[in-house]
């Protein structure tokens, strides 16, 4: 008897996806996952303080949550991206 491979369904939002994987074994869908290379930041030695108004910080937190990262990480990612672009232009 042949066993059919299960496929991960499309989800409307992250909440539906989270509920699905709370009730299903990821091992059943292992064939659908790809190996990725992870890049980790070296120890960060210095910091700066950046102040935002309430609306801006709430939006930053919202977008960071949607991307699955913290607001500080997202801000750092955006700053690094802009710095790389500026260096490339120079």
Tell me if 84 sits within 8 A of 70, measured CB to CB: no
* Coil vs helix vs strand at 71: helix
- Domain-located, residue 6: no
**Which tens digit of pLDDT belongs to each residue from 52-63?**
999 999 999 999
User: How does residue 38 score in pLDDT terms, banded at 50, 70 and 90?
Assistant: confident
**Which tens digit of pLDDT belongs to each residue from 63-82?**
999 999 999 999 999 999 99
Separation of alpha carbons 32 and 89, rounded Å: 39
Output the pTM of the full model. 0.52
- Domain-located, residue 33: yes
- Domain-located, residue 45: yes
Tally of domains within the chain = 1
Residue 54's domain comprises: 14-89
Separation of alpha carbons 55 and 75, rounded Å: 15
- Domain-located, residue 7: no
Higher pLDDT, 43 or 89: 89
- Domain-located, residue 23: yes
């Amino acid at each position: 008897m042949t066993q059919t491979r299960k496929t991960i369904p499309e989800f409307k939002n992250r909440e539906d996806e989270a509920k699905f994987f709370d009730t299903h074994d990821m091992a059943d869908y292992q064939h659908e996952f790809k190996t990725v290379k992870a890049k980790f930041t070296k120890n960060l030695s210095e910091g700066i303080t950046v102040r935002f108004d309430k609306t801006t910080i709430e939006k930053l937190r919202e977008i960071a949550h949607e991307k699955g990262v913290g607001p500080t990480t997202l801000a750092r990612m955006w700053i690094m991206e802009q710095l790389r672009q500026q260096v490339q232009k120079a």
